[in-house]
Structure 1
Amino acid sequence: MRLNHTKFTISFATLKPYLLMLLFILCILNAGIVRADENRGWYIGGALGKTKYDLDNRNIAEEIATDQFTVNSIESDTNDKGYKLFAGYQFNSHVSLEGGYFDLGKTDFTALVTPTGSLYGQSEFKGINLDLIGRVPFTEKLSGFGLIGVTYAKRNDSFAPSEAIFVANPNRDDKNFNPKIGLGLEYAFTPSWAARLEVERYRLNDAIDKKGYANFLSLGLVYKFGRKAAPVVAPAPAPAPVVRQQEYCTTLDIEFEIDNAAIQRAEKEKLAVVANFLNKYPATTAVIEGHTDDVGDTDRNLGLSQRRAESVVDYLAANYNIARNRLTATGYGESQPIADNATEDGKRHNRRIKAVISCANDIAGLQPLTARVTMALKMEYARNNADVAEEYYGELNRVGKFLNDNPDVTATVEGHTDNTSPATAVKVSQLRAQKVVDYLVEKAGVDRSRLTAEGFGLSRRYAYNSTETGRQQNRRVSIIINYPNP
């Protein structure tokens, strides 16, 4: 038998798939080798599969035959069954190290030669391996993996010549180190048991020390030690239906007349809402903040804002029995404007009370009284004039209809003036209010007993009298609806 022992060389093309697989494994190592988790532990397994050999049997036959014979044809059987057993340690969800034993089965060939004769050859491969495995979990149960490893394989060869063929050594064996790569899927039925489907490519040395391959497709079973199923927790009984607890908070904003701390009738409806909240939730408290515009002395404005806050506290305590220790009055003067003091509207918004009321939790839910309609109609007049202008007839008729539709309410008509003399101011403002009352009685059919006329002169300025626009706004009548106590 003639054997050619070629020099051992490896080209880049040969190593390329192994290098790519190694790069894949290194990436996974970088992602998770130092982060051990609940998936770590030992495991064992086994697999059965089919082997497909990729060996140059013609070249083997030609090398083994003597010089005076020529190979005419060759028939090969490159498929067989194989198995492997393995054990490994899984460091975490991504990385494990695995060793095992494999038997890839046999491959054989029959070569016909000239002069007449034949040569039958058979090789079988088995050995041990060590693999580095990188995993990529797809779902809680399914993961993919790649591996790169090294094998130490034993090859057993046997040759049976016929007629004129002669083989000097018909039986031989050899052992070699070679690399391997693989890809696969693993599905965990339980934390302890999993199925594995994988394909591996083994690098082999054939009978004449040429490089060949064996591709092994297998299906296996894996048992993982120390893995426990998650405890089954009995579902808790359905809770009795309840209304979701809600948090209720409220604030209050009311405005004041110029240089005045008295609470206007129209604002008392807002205070009724706040009082209902405080009575509904006796554990809540309120901070009543008083504010002014920036007209006048700063210290005087600070005192005015304090009086405004205290007037609200007094009103809530006297009319709704709110304990005073739940109410705090604080005056801020002109220091916290919410609008531009350069305009009349801005000044008016800054003359205010803000009530900040603590939050309350309630399962049943709060249904407070809403602020009822005040219909604070403002009617403007020429200087020292008390006649009702025709342009207000439509509004007054609507007020009359509201009063007739709601016989349990009353109305107060308030008259106001600008900076005329005090005596004239009171007289003119009272006359303005009275003429509106007369209109509602005579034209709208409202019972006079339900109407009250009051003149406030120039004591309740809506705007400053420093401009004609401000004076015009102060020459007015307001109609305030009064509701019976709930």
Structure 2
Amino acid sequence: MKPARMLRVLGLAGLGSLAAFSATAQDAGYYYGGLSVGQSRARIDDERITAGLLGAGLRTTTMSLDESDTAFKLFGGYQFNRYLAVEGGYFDLGKFGFTSTTVPAGTLNGQIKLRGFNLDLVGTLPLSERFSVIGRVGAQVARASDSFSGTGAVQVLSPNPSKRATNYKVGLGLQYEVNPSFLVRAEAERYRIDDAVGNRGDINMYSVSLVFPFGRTPAPAPRAMPVSTYVAPAPMAEAPRPVPPPVAPRQSASFSADSLFAFDAATLRPEGRSALDGFMAQLGGLQFDTIGIEGHTDRLGGAAYNQRLSLRRAEAVKDYFVVQGRVAPEKLRVSGKGESAPVTRPEDCKGQTATPQLIACLQPDRRVVVEVNGLR
């Protein structure tokens, strides 16, 4: 076999740099397992087969090729953080073959089966909250089992050669997170293979994978921090009067935008919805006049864009309260402050380029503040 048209496996060189971002990962490490099913494709070197037969005094008249088959993988791995995992598994690339008809009259039949084990380093580059690009590079040990038979003028001297060899493998694909316990991948992979008769070539596998994380723990939701309230004492009077109920003029909580939303997005994450549910549960049956919702961003990006993003995030929180039936729409007030009210100081977070270190330093500025007014 000889190499098929080369896959353009882009981004594999970035696997090492992805590891540098591990400090910003949102999930703790977890184990996972899965299954891949797809199609494998090879390129049989018909010119070499024809030349070999001609050297034996046999001229090839026709040749039929079987260059594709069903392939599958069983795999398991450990995801260290959002960007890096190690994965091992068993693969079966199927079988490929040919039939050659010769003059003097005869036929030569050949078939190869390929299966083995692999160990890969898998890098993940998030594109959005659910979509990611994945790239892999690793080593695999494959066993090639050949089978040859001849009829008529064709005689086979070694009918069942086999060989086990270690080679590289690479791959590129997309991953979609259906939920924290179920992911779907679509991948193209290349396996470097040694057959058992002195040839080297590539097998390409195109597959769909189902991935099942075990015990995956999402990032904890932020806790609402109510402001302590002051209750004025009842006024002294000659005649006893009913003591008025305690008055809490306002209560507020600040939520990290990184927990409520994906980076540079305004769609609530599941853990963000849980945090908002917890805050509303603290209010219980208390009555109030209005709830103010303020969105804030860091200074990265343009001021006009940050203003719009902060307002969209505040409106997303408002819409969630309304859809859940927690608050009447007329009691909600939203505003976007953009980057105008940072929590951090310029001397603490220096620079203007969005490096991972600066993004992490400016995290307190990306927030949504919810303030309840007129509690009673």
Give the TM-score category using the shorter length: 0.5 to 0.7
- CA shift, 1:239, in A, is 5.7
Q: Deviations over 1:10-34 (max 9, x none)?
A: xxxx99978x7542222323x3246
Change beyond 3 A, Cα 1:84–1:181: same
Matched, 1:150 2:143: no
- CA shift, 1:209, in A, is 2.2
- CA shift, 1:72, in A, is 3.2
Query: C-alpha distance in 2, partners of 1:54/1:92?
Result: 38
- CA shift, 1:112, in A, is 1.6
Paired residue secondary structure (1:208) = coil
User: Aligned residue for 2:32?
Assistant: 43
Given that 2:28 and 2:217 are in contact with CA atoms closer than 8 Å, whether structure 1 keeps it comes out as no
Matched, 1:25 2:15: yes
Change beyond 3 A, Cα 1:100–1:177: same
User: Aligned residue for 1:137?
Assistant: 126
User: Aligned residue for 1:70?
Assistant: 59
Given that 1:53 and 1:213 are in contact with CA atoms closer than 8 Å, whether structure 2 keeps it comes out as yes
Paired residue secondary structure (2:179) = coil
Query: C-alpha distance in 1, partners of 2:69/2:7?
Result: 27
Q: 1:228-247 alignment to 2 at 5 Å?
A: 228=217, 233=274, 234=277, 236=280, 240-242=288-290
Matched, 1:172 2:220: no
Q: Deviations over 1:356-376 (max 9, x none)?
A: xxxxxxx99xxxxxxxxxxxx
Given that 1:40 and 1:92 are in contact with CA atoms closer than 8 Å, whether structure 2 keeps it comes out as yes
User: Aligned residue for 1:300?
Assistant: none
Given that 2:37 and 2:209 are in contact with CA atoms closer than 8 Å, whether structure 1 keeps it comes out as yes
User: Aligned residue for 1:473?
Assistant: none
Change beyond 3 A, Cα 1:221–1:63: same
User: Aligned residue for 2:213?
Assistant: 224
Query: C-alpha distance in 1, partners of 2:202/2:67?
Result: 11
2:104 to 115, 118, 125: 115
Given that 1:51 and 1:81 are in contact with CA atoms closer than 8 Å, whether structure 2 keeps it comes out as yes
1:200 to 189, 197, 206: 189
Q: Which has the higher contact order (CA 8 A, sep 6+)?
A: 2
- Higher strand fraction (1 or 2): 2
Query: What amino acid sits opposite 2:176 in the alignment?
Result: Y
TM-score normalised over the length of structure 1: 0.44
Paired residue secondary structure (2:161) = strand
Given that 1:21 and 1:181 are in contact with CA atoms closer than 8 Å, whether structure 2 keeps it comes out as no
Query: C-alpha distance in 2, partners of 1:177/1:119?
Result: 29
Query: What amino acid sits opposite 1:70 in the alignment?
Result: R
User: Aligned residue for 2:199?
Assistant: 210
Matched, 1:97 2:92: no
Query: What amino acid sits opposite 1:102 in the alignment?
Result: F
Change beyond 3 A, Cα 1:112–1:132: same
Q: 1:466-481 alignment to 2 at 5 Å?
A: none
- CA shift, 1:211, in A, is 1.8
- CA shift, 1:207, in A, is 4.0
| Percent identity of paired positions between Structure 1 and Structure 2 | 34
Query: C-alpha distance in 2, partners of 1:175/1:107?
Result: 17
Query: C-alpha distance in 2, partners of 1:88/1:38?
Result: 15
Paired residue secondary structure (1:28) = helix
Gaps of 5+ in 2: 219-269, 293-372
Query: What amino acid sits opposite 2:289 in the alignment?
Result: P
Paired residue secondary structure (1:189) = strand
Q: 1:2-21 alignment to 2 at 5 Å?
A: none
Let me know the Cα RMSD of the aligned residues: 3.0
Given that 2:88 and 2:117 are in contact with CA atoms closer than 8 Å, whether structure 1 keeps it comes out as yes
Query: C-alpha distance in 2, partners of 1:202/1:71?
Result: 30
User: Aligned residue for 1:81?
Assistant: 70
Given that 1:66 and 1:166 are in contact with CA atoms closer than 8 Å, whether structure 2 keeps it comes out as no
Query: C-alpha distance in 2, partners of 1:65/1:161?
Result: 15
Gaps of 5+ in 1: 1-13, 245-362, 365-486
Q: 1:58-457 alignment to 2 at 5 Å?
A: 58-60=47-49, 62-63=51-52, 67-228=56-217, 233=274, 234=277, 236=280, 240-242=288-290
User: How many pairs are equivalent?
Assistant: 232
Change beyond 3 A, Cα 1:34–1:130: farther
Query: C-alpha distance in 2, partners of 1:143/1:22?
Result: 14
TM-score normalised over the length of structure 2: 0.56
Query: C-alpha distance in 2, partners of 1:89/1:243?
Result: 44
Query: C-alpha distance in 2, partners of 1:192/1:172?
Result: 44
- Higher helix fraction (1 or 2): 1
Larger of the two Rg values belongs to structure: 1
